[in-house]
Amino acid sequence: MLFYGPPGTGKTMLASRLPGILPPLGRRELLDVAAVYSSAGLALPSQRPFRAPHHSASPTALVGGGSNPRPGEISLAHRGVLFLDELPEFPRHALEILREPLESGEVRIARARASVSFPAAFQLVAAMNPCPCGYLGEARCRCTPNQVQRYRGKLSGPLLDRIDMHVEVAAISAGQLQDAPAGESSGEVRERVIAARSRQGERQHRINADLRGRELERHCRLAENERQLLRRSVDQLGLSARSYHRVLRVARTIADLSGAATIGCEHIAEALAYRNLDRRQAVGAGA
């Protein structure tokens, strides 16, 4: 998930709340996390891991390494959340390292004397501003179009393609803050997440994120109207096959959260709405 919006809109706060709505670690997951933290010489966290390295962190700090290889931030976020604030400020090479573990769920470190693999099945959550100063579209923004393009261009297409959801966090006024209704607590949301995961376990014995190939087709089967909507949208946005499958998984998850047995047009539309940066790129290309 990628949050983008001006400074002070709550992107970091939203990211830090995510571990609180995730189900507790299962026995097998707990053993996996314990093994990683033990090899790093760290105490086991009390809930799902939440790691937030600074953008000045080196590639080695992220992926792990050393003469006696130790896990890095990517592996320390195993079964939890890896939060990268100010995403475009990370070195391009460090960001490209994320591509393989996002697909495989592990990271491989090759050294002259040994090759080591560490688990790295994490949820990537990132945040960025819309432009270098953060206030794109406002009178105080002085960023040129070239500066905005260079800033956004720090995120490669293949990396952006691997991020399921692009969520805009817009600025709100003091009046909107004061008049905002009380929302759900993290505990209430967590119960819905646990119920959705329970449905996935009963249906396919794994979470939707782990569906591949024919399993994905079988458990995310669409009726004709839904097939046509997704096909038209993918063509208009120019989405890759990887993005197509990610939209399908997100739509299936949205349906599970709402208690729906099948994926409807409303679930697909919502999943597509989370590809906001893809839509903007498509509009820009058309212009």
For a pLDDT cut of 90, what percent of the chain falls above it? 62
Domain residue limits, the chain? 2-179, 186-286
| pLDDT (tens digit per residue) in 92-145 | 888 888 888 988 899 988 776 778 889 999 999 999 999 999 999 899 999 999
- Banded pLDDT at 279 (limits 50, 70, 90): low
Which one is predicted more confidently, 277 or 102? 102
| pLDDT (tens digit per residue) in 68-92 | 788 999 999 999 999 999 999 998 8
For a pLDDT cut of 70, what percent of the chain falls above it? 96
Which one is predicted more confidently, 279 or 213? 213
**Phi, psi (rounded to 5 degrees) for 60:** -65, -40
Distance CA(83)–CA(16), nearest Å, equals 8
What is the predicted pLDDT for the residue at 276?
A: 75
User: What would the mean pLDDT of 50-60 be, rounded to a whole number?
Assistant: 91
The dihedral over CA atoms of 27, 32, 35, 41, expressed in degrees to the nearest 10, equals: -100
What is the predicted pLDDT for the residue at 79?
A: 94
**Is the CATH number of domain 2-179 3.40.50.300?**
yes
What is the predicted pLDDT for the residue at 37?
A: 95
- Identity of residue 107: V
- Please say if the pLDDT value at position 285 is more than 60: no
- Please say if the pLDDT value at position 38 is more than 80: yes
The dihedral over CA atoms of 199, 30, 95, 157, expressed in degrees to the nearest 10, equals: -10
Is 154 in contact with 88 (CB distance < 8 Å)? yes
Q: Is 195 helix (H, G, I), strand (E, B) or coil?
A: helix
**Phi, psi (rounded to 5 degrees) for 112:** -60, -40
- Residue ranges of alpha helices (H) inside the chain are 11-17, 27-40, 59-63, 73-76, 92-97, 99-104, 145-153, 157-161, 174-179, 186-204, 213-219, 224-237, 241-258, 265-273, 276-286
Is 262 in contact with 223 (CB distance < 8 Å)? yes
Task: Output the DSSP codes for 248-271.
Answer: HHHHHHHHHHHT-SS--HHHHHHH
pTM of the model: 0.88
Is 273 in contact with 165 (CB distance < 8 Å)? no
Structure-block tokens of residue 261: 């047995």
Looking at every residue in the chain, the average pLDDT score rounds to 89
Which one is predicted more confidently, 213 or 283? 213
- Region for 47 from its dihedrals, namely left if φ exceeds 0, alpha if ψ lies in -120 to 50, beta otherwise: beta
What is the predicted pLDDT for the residue at 3?
A: 95
- Banded pLDDT at 153 (limits 50, 70, 90): confident
What is the predicted pLDDT for the residue at 164?
A: 93
Distance CA(78)–CA(123), nearest Å, equals 8
Q: State whether the Cα torsion 259-264-266-268 is positive or negative.
A: positive
What is the predicted pLDDT for the residue at 284?
A: 43
- Please say if the pLDDT value at position 199 is more than 50: yes
| pLDDT (tens digit per residue) in 164-194 | 999 999 888 788 887 888 888 889 999 999 9
| pLDDT (tens digit per residue) in 204-260 | 999 999 999 899 999 999 999 999 999 999 998 888 898 999 999 999 999 999 999
What is the predicted pLDDT for the residue at 132?
A: 94
